[in-house]
Structure 1
Amino acid sequence: MFRPLSIFIGSRYTRAKRRNHFISFISLTSMIGLALGVLAMIMVLSVMNGFQREMSNRILGMVPHAVITGAGQPLNDWQAVAKQLDGHPQVLGTAPVTQLEGMLSFKGNMQPIEINGVDPEAEGEVSILGSRMIGGRLEDLRAGESGVILGLMTARRFGLRIGDKLTLIVPELSDAPGGVTPRMQRLNVVGVFKVGAELDGSLAMIHRADAARIQKWDPEQVEGVRVRLADLYQAPMVASELATTMGEGYRARDWSMTQGSLFSAMKMEKTMIGLLLLLIVAVAAFNIIATLIMVVADKRADIAILRTLGATPRQIMTIFMVQGSIIGLTGTLIGMVLGVFGALNVSALVGWLERVTGQHIFSSDVYFINTLPSELRLEDVLLVTLAALVLSFLATLYPAWRAAQTQPAEALRYE
């Protein structure tokens, strides 16, 4: 089979057993370093993808993807609005919601809280609340009974159990000198949920009819209709489109207004960690420079003979570019395979370590997520592999150029 001279000699130099074992050792360490760098990047990015997925599922499974509200007025016929919204292809579910902000008070202790007035029968269409109950049931919220479902952190902070009573304090605009007077509502704890996020300490649920009573509305009036979307990252655009479709007198807000900063920070963190890990790959890739410089010094006589036989400087340069590229390609492919395998099995590995050592690495008492999630993405694997290959190729250019500048007479003078 025909092979160009440069590729043949370059690949042969890579396979050959060199007289200088130190050069072979440096080549091996460059290859191993590159493989470890690629392995680390793929695994770390996959774990960060897993954490982002878990936080998205938990937080955005509880907060509304989008809410369509009246322009400063409650909705009188939310069922009709929900029926119209259901016709949009991006809408997977709708439910009424009334959102309040206030303070919870229990035995002298107080805490700010966000209250969602929900319909227990429709909430399952837009929320994961029903599957996150660790005490009581979502159906225990009944109109007129002033029931409340609290997050686990709130319940622990106050030492509350199902059946206990606490006070909700809601500010109300008035003609008083201060402009605001507090309104108090006695609530009964009927359930506790655990999402595994900050919402466990900042969110509570009551029946929409009780929320309407606090707001001094009719029992069937609600603030808006909550919408669950097929692609939650399209929420700003879709929410605006839904409000426009509904016509004048309707407004839209989406999760990016309240939770957007959190997910922007997570995305920025992933980018910065990826860049820092890329430095490890860069260090390993540029070790190829040292390897090839020593190879060029070791092969000066061979280079001179090839030049004497008619090899051009371009062919000499290609020989060492091929040799360095093979080192980089081998290390990158080994790192990619090990990284993919590690990313797919890191959760099981952590579970095995916890069973063997008897220690919980991610204790549920300390962390919101008590496992090490991982989500392998093809685009991350391709990006890391391509970056490693490019850096490896760039590392071959200078030593190969130095080899091409070798003068036969000078190299053979003392041979």
Structure 2
Amino acid sequence: MFLSRYERMIARRYLLPGKGEAFILIVAAFSLGAVTLGVFALVVTMSVMNGFRAELFDKIVGLNGHAVVQAYGGQMRDWRDIVKLSEATKGVTSATPLIEQPLMTTYNGRVEGVLLRGMRVADICTNKTIGSKVVMGSLASLTPGSGRIAIGSGLADSLGAVVGSQISLISPQGQTTPFGTVPRIVQYTVGAIFTIGVSDYDKIYVIMPMEDAQTLLMLGDSVGMVELQTTDPDRVGQILAPLSDKIGNRGVVQDWRMMNAQLFEALSVERVVMFCLLSLIILVAAFNIASSLIMLVRAKTRDIAILRTMGASRNGLLRIFMTVGTTIGSLGIVLGLLLAGIALTFRQGVVDLIQRISGQNIWDPQVRFLTELPAKTNPVEVVAIVLIALLLTFLATLYPAFKAASTDPVQVLRYD
């Protein structure tokens, strides 16, 4: 929008009304604040929700893979063939045999339900989700036959266990006697404590070498599943389609979308709903801009009539008032983006401060899944928010601008 020199001067004066028009300035300031608040709320909320989804996805997929080949009956005896077939499939980057079994554990009179995971020692040490999150001990101590295991930090807190503690795992699959099956109770030493960052995982996971898990569960040389990693998790169904045909009736392929469908679908719906609801703040801000411009036009009716008699065109008046409105909206957008950037940078500090002031734990890991408030800003979404705010601001200026441009100087100045 190109303005002449006099149009820029008038627009600048209308942005800062005189002493007798302080009320118009206050309304314009509220409009500026509303746009700022709307952009700030949208950017922060969408960034936090994107971060929550990305962090949760990384934790879940990092531990459970993009997909698993689940054995029928819970035991996969030909797992080596499945691993070879999987690694030969285009798009599959790794295939890891696993054993997972719900068990009970006890220590110092405390009993907790756990999920035992048996993995090859090399896979334990190279797993980024586990290996980079060891808070006590060392994964290198987990060797077959050593009797050492790694447990989640939440489970360690629940049991009161530390590295070196002797905890017992209770397996219902034990020896059969005339009085029934006697559960197996085997004692292990805690060799490492890790924290994944997902509360539900940290308080149930027990990691041990695959050979020890096979012995504990009396599986022989069998495993329960083969975990798969692919080059593109969003195309995991297409990538693994050939593998499903090769495996046939030996197992079933389940990808991360099947295993966590309800969770990620709920997050997607929530993102859309939050975006729509928070966009209403910007819509309200646009109405405020429209109302402030209407008041400005009413206050400046005589000035507009004089400008028309001096040769100002209708298009010139249109440009002036549209510039005033869009300037307010643009300043609000810039301020909103700056505030959002600051809030996202210091988000965890803000959460901690609110918790100290209120005395409430507003970010409980057991409720929120993650231990810290995540954030991931999507540039495409930020651009969309800016464009929506600019569009609504522009539309809000149309009626006041046309009203100003249609002012009849004869009618206004007739009795002056």
Give deviations 1:264-309, integer Å, cap 9, x for gaps: 4444444444344333333323210121111110232344456667
Name the structure 2 match of 1:212. Answer: 214
Pairing 1:13–2:15 present: no
**Cα distance in structure 2, aligned partners of 1:167 and 1:87:** 37
Say if 2:11 and 2:320, in contact at 8 Å, map to a contact too.
Answer: no
SS of 1:143's equivalent? coil
Judging by fraction of residues, say which structure has more helix.
2
TM-score, structure 2 normalization = 0.79
Say if 2:70 and 2:252, in contact at 8 Å, map to a contact too.
Answer: yes
Say if 2:89 and 2:240, in contact at 8 Å, map to a contact too.
Answer: no
User: Which amino acid letter does the alignment assign opposite residue 154 of structure 1?
Assistant: L
Name the structure 2 match of 1:392. Answer: 393
| Identical amino acids, percent of aligned pairs | 29
**Cα distance in structure 2, aligned partners of 1:36 and 1:352:** 22
Q: Which runs of 5+ in 2 are unaligned?
A: none
Name the structure 1 match of 2:294. Answer: 293
Give deviations 1:205-262, integer Å, cap 9, x for gaps: 233223333544323x212221223333444554445323545533112333444433
- The number of aligned residues is 403
Name the structure 2 match of 1:39. Answer: 40
Name the structure 1 match of 2:113. Answer: 112
Name the CA shift for 1:93/1:324 in 2 (closer, same or farther; >3 Å): same
Name the structure 1 match of 2:144. Answer: 143
Give deviations 1:325-364, integer Å, cap 9, x for gaps: 2322232234334534654x3259769989xx9x9x9999
Say if 2:107 and 2:166, in contact at 8 Å, map to a contact too.
Answer: no
User: Which amino acid letter does the alignment assign opposite residue 186 of structure 1?
Assistant: V
Segment of structure 1 superposing worse, 224-233 or 266-275: 266-275
Shift in Å, 1:151: 1.5
Say if 1:121 and 1:139, in contact at 8 Å, map to a contact too.
Answer: no
Q: CA RMSD in A?
A: 4.0
Shift in Å, 1:14: 2.3
Name the CA shift for 1:125/1:90 in 2 (closer, same or farther; >3 Å): farther
Name the CA shift for 1:364/1:38 in 2 (closer, same or farther; >3 Å): closer
Name the structure 2 match of 1:333. Answer: 334
TM-score, structure 1 normalization = 0.79
**Cα distance in structure 1, aligned partners of 2:87 and 2:9:** 66
Say if 2:106 and 2:167, in contact at 8 Å, map to a contact too.
Answer: no
Segment of structure 1 superposing worse, 97-106 or 85-94: 85-94
Segment of structure 1 superposing worse, 309-318 or 55-64: 309-318
Shift in Å, 1:193: 1.9
Name the structure 2 match of 1:129. Answer: 130
Say if 1:140 and 1:190, in contact at 8 Å, map to a contact too.
Answer: no
Name the structure 1 match of 2:60. Answer: 59
Name the structure 2 match of 1:188. Answer: 188
1:174-323 correspondence runs (5 A): 183-191=183-191, 192-197=193-198, 198-219=200-221, 221-305=222-306, 317=318, 319-323=320-324
Q: Which runs of 5+ in 1 are unaligned?
A: none
1:360-371 correspondence runs (5 A): none
Say if 1:304 and 1:408, in contact at 8 Å, map to a contact too.
Answer: yes
